[in-house]
Amino acid sequence: MARKQSPLRIIPLGGLDGIGKNMTAFEYENDMVLIDAGLMFPDDNQPGIDLVLPDYTYVLENEDKLRGIIITHGHEDHTGALPFLLQDLTNKVPIYSSKLTLGIIEGKLNEYHINNPKFREVKDGSHVNMGVFSIDFFSMTHSIPAALGIYMRTPAGSVMHTGDFKLDQTPIDGVTPNYQAIGRFASNGVDLLLSDSTNATNPGFTPSEAAVGPALRHIIKNAPGRVFVASFASHIHRLQQVCDASIAVGRKVVVTGRSMIQNIKVARELGYLKIDENDIIDAFEVTDIPDDKIVVLCTGSQGEPMSALSRMASGDHKSLTITASDTVIISATPVPGNEKSVQGVINALSKIGCAVYDKSTTLVHVSGHGCQEELKLMIAMVRPKSFMPVHGEAVHLRAHAQLALSMGIPEKNIFIADNGDSLEMTNGRVSWGAPVASGVVYVEGQSVVDSDPLVFRDRQKLSADGVVSCVVTISGKGADRKVSYVEITCRGTSFSGDVDLMAEADEYVREQINKAAAHEGTSIEALRKSTRNCTSNYLWNRTRTRPMIIPVVLEV
């Protein structure tokens, strides 16, 4: 009797609840491959947090199976969790990606003092075996060069993962998607397609990256003073177009912002960004060059408070300050959750009086992700038996699933998953499997912290209503116990300077705790609870605010 075939498990650990922290595990018996290890930036509901990572506990628990980590391209939402994952793994695991992506990753790992990682360079047409996984790589176009898609064959069936993509026919570096390879893999058979869903709600086609060049050149050519261009530091194609436009109109390029400097250095060294050494100058040299001969490439397209653009707008940058005669181009789309921060920077720039261009006014940005017609074309080329939308919020995943349904994929073969869900493939057929533990991990400074919602609730409370400490001293014994001292102090409250209110609060707390203390057997913990409650109730009745109350009860 033939042995029952083991299933291939497809386990998304991140990337299905927002734009970011992409990570998917593929497991067959004693072999596992991980595709991407990204991060997400926090939103307003996560005060004090710097980075959000997928919970990769399942990978650590099965580390002995891990044969390799594949990174599809060099954006942070696909690479940013790598330093933390590699620090937690006990063995060095090979990392497979393109030359540019590995160069970007190396710079990131150096910041975390991770030395000598096991890099394995792959490119369009590369083939790698990782345990039972037979993996082929093919070129895709995105907003960063050297983006790769993946075709994976296993004993249980085949999977194609598009990575992030759009079908750009005129990419800046001339490297189009490898349609021939996609067609060949489709002929071999694709049992499951995992496809980028970021723009699944947008009809039509995404314009080519080349469409941005003329608009950038027009603005740079006609600007009366300096031009500041804020973009993602990893958007090498966009940086190339800014450099080309600047040189064409006789301007030098200044680079500022730590990640921008690092990525441009790597891209130039590896041949992905072409600009002559004489055309790039240091930020401290700009005083020797006329303003109309300068273009500044900087970070800050997402309104980050410590980015170069934000610091220049507020006058805090060490070498550059934006003035009314300058022009600012924000060449990016706000990541969901960053809209308020970006608008804040635009308002600050508008107060200065400089000209500001963004995608809402001029074609200075196009997306790196395909819209509905490109997503449908991908499904038409691949002809998968089953389909799983990835990389997006719930609305994007559902919209992509509807596109797949309209393309003839049966509804029972379309899987809208959440992080931690799993699919199982046997003989090319896909079904739901048992879920695994999943969630998010928060990075605060250099520390990984628990995702305790109580912490965020307390921080939001502190930011909204402030904190009040109430110190009560109890003297005497038994029924003779009474309050001998009360002191209420406030931080971050609207009533801190109201002397009368504070005096009344002291008297109210003294009266209430005297009543509680008079009962024999009342514990210090009970008195502490009473102190918190009566202080909170009094302030709510008088101010309609609920600051955090810190009660301190001392018995002397």
Cα separation, 551 vs 449, in Å, equals 26
Lowest-confidence pick of 22-36, 37-51, 279-293: 37-51
Place of tokens 């983006």: 147
For residue 397, is pLDDT > 60?
A: yes
CB 444: neighbour CB atoms within 10 A? 14
Q: Quick one: 500 exposed, middle or buried, by C-beta within 10 A (0-12, 13-18, 19+)? A: exposed
Q: Are 53 and 87 in contact (CB under 8 A)?
A: no
Domains (range + CATH), the chain: 8-204+367-449 (3.60.15.10), 209-357 (3.40.50.10710), 453-555 (3.10.20.580)
Confidence tier at 187 by pLDDT (50, 70, 90):
very high
State residue 548's pLDDT score.
86
Instruction: Pick the more confident residue, 36 or 284.
Output: 36
Q: For the chain, give the percent of residues with pLDDT over 90.
A: 65
Which residues on adjacent β-strands are paired with residue 355?
327
State residue 449's pLDDT score.
64
Report CA Rg, the chain. Answer: 29
For residue 450, is pLDDT > 80?
A: no
Cα separation, 296 vs 276, in Å, equals 16
For residue 2, is pLDDT > 60?
A: no
Amino acid at 161: H
Amino acid at 181: A
State residue 431's pLDDT score.
97
State residue 1's pLDDT score.
44
Element (H, E) at 184: helix 179-188
Helix (H, G, I), strand (E, B) or coil at 272: coil
Residue (of 99, 250, 271, 102) closest to 173 by Cα position: 271
> Angle, nearest 10°, between helix axes 236-248 and 212-222?
40
Confidence tier at 58 by pLDDT (50, 70, 90):
very high
Instruction: Pick the more confident residue, 489 or 465.
Output: 489
- Predicted model pTM: 0.84
For residue 336, is pLDDT > 90?
A: no
Q: For the chain, give the percent of residues with pLDDT over 70.
A: 94
Q: List, as one string, the DSSP characters of 164-209.
A: S-B--SS-TTS----HHHHHHHHHH--SEEEEE-TTTTS-S-PPPG
